[in-house]
Structure formats: C-alpha cells, structure tokens
Amino acid sequence: MKTLEELEAIRQKTLARISLRKEDKEEAVRVVIGMATCGIAAGARPVLTAFMEEIDRRHLRNIQVTQTGCVGMCRLEPMVDVITPDGNKVTYVKVNPEKARMIVADHVVNGHPVTEYTIGAAEQQA
C-alpha cells in the first residue's frame, strides 16, 4: 500500500527539481483537451492519459495540461489545442492516444505541428 512516507520522499525530490526549474524562465506549452460530455464520450480521457504518460516518459517539464468545455464541434471530438509560448495555437481533431503521442513528439518537443491531424486538414476533407 502507498504510504505518506513515500509521498514525503517525492516532495523532497520534487522540491530540489523545482528550485532548478525556477532559474530557467522558459514559458510553458499548454495542451488543452475538450472534456465536455461530447469529448468524454468520444474518448477524451484516454487521450488525456496518453498526454500525461508521454510527457512523463520523456521527462518533459513546463508543459501544462488543462481542459476546456464543449466548443460546439462535437463531431470532431476529442479535440486538443496546443498553445506554444509564442502564442500560436494549433487545434487537433479526432485525437486518439496514438495521435496524442505523435503530437507530443513532433509538435511539443520538435516544434512541428502534425498537419494531417489539424482541424484545417479535417475541413478540407469534408
């Protein structure tokens, strides 16, 4: 069973890392996932989990994963916005865990949006 002692050890380790992080002033990348009824029914929760795991696996820091409500395009859910520190926002549609991992690798880490999964690409097809 997990104990509070274990949590205390995590606190100590994290504190040391946070003090390092404060020195580099790089701004956060924001990953915003649609989590209204439509998003959840379409599979937003495993997408959120995939982002969390991939960010953790790659030891990425300074990534903020957050959520939003329904934006009125339920047929395109799960939708994810990636907002980089330069203020650019890319909207991905019909995201699944596999696409989420690719978005982390190509866009969040390497700065190249995955064009074929964006809302622009989806609307050209329609």
Partner 1 sequence: MRDLSLHLLDLAENSLRAGAGRISLQLTLGADGALDVVLEDDGCGMEQGLARRAADPFATTRTTRRVGLGLPLAAANAEKTGGYLTLDSVPGQGTKVHIRLMTRHVDCLPLGDLPQTMVSLILTHPEHPDFVLDLHSPRGQARFDTGEIRRVLGPEVGLQEPEVMNYIQHLLTEQCQMVFGGLIS
Helix (H, G, I), strand (E, B) or coil at 78: coil
What's the closest the beta carbon of residue 107 comes to partner 1, in angstroms?
19
Contact 11, 18 (CB under 8 A): no
Stretch that binds partner 1, among 51-59, 84-92, 98-106, 115-123 (CB under 8 A): 51-59
**At a CB cut-off of 8 Å and minimum separation 6, what does 28 contact?**
62, 63, 64, 85
Does 4 engage in binding with partner 1 (CB under 8 A)?
yes
Residue 64 β-bridge partners: 30
Contact 64, 29 (CB under 8 A): yes
State which residue, 38 or 93, has the beta carbon closest to partner 1: 38
Instruction: List the structure tokens of 67.
Output: 């959520």
**# binding residues, partner 1 (CB under 8 A):** 31
Does 28 engage in binding with partner 1 (CB under 8 A)?
no
State which residue, 10 or 121, has the beta carbon closest to partner 1: 10
Give the containing element (helix H, strand E) for 31: strand 29-34
State which residue, 55 or 90, has the beta carbon closest to partner 1: 55
Could you list the residues that contact partner 1 (CB under 8 A)?
1-2, 4, 6-8, 10-11, 13-15, 18, 33, 35-37, 40-41, 45, 48-49, 52, 55-56, 64-67, 69-70, 72
